[in-house]
Amino acid sequence: MKQIIKSNPILRTFKFAFGGMLGVMAAEAVVVLYTIFMVSIGYALLDHFNKKGTDLLEELEPMQYLGIVICILGLLPWGQYLIFGLLEGAGQDLYKNMF
């Protein structure tokens, strides 16, 4: 089987492309696991240190601020997509207003 793949340039290219896509998918999986881990820790801090009888973010304790910061750190890798969307919308509105 190795001889067939080594001798055929199409199969060799497919093997490299497939390996590259597996690497991209693995990197995205690590980012997703990081996000889930950090947001769950932040939410656990928010929920654990909540005053009894109040809503979750109504009267914040000092440890709840730490939970909010940890949640924000967990969501940072996805902030680029928020910025991309905002800038795309701003560019479309600018184009519509110019013409």
Domain count, the chain: 1
pLDDT of 56: 87
CB burial string 12-42: b at 16+ within 10 A, e below: eeeeeeeeeeeeeeeeeeeeeeebeebbebb
* pTM of the predicted structure, to 2 decimals: 0.76
Segment 46-66 shows an average pLDDT of: 91
pLDDT of 7: 85
Query: Does the pLDDT value for residue 35 go beyond 90?
Result: yes
Query: Does the pLDDT value for residue 60 go beyond 80?
Result: yes
pLDDT of 79: 92
Contact at 8 Å (CB) between 63 and 49?
Answer: yes
Higher pLDDT, 2 or 66: 66
Domain encompassing residue 89? 2-98
pLDDT of 34: 97
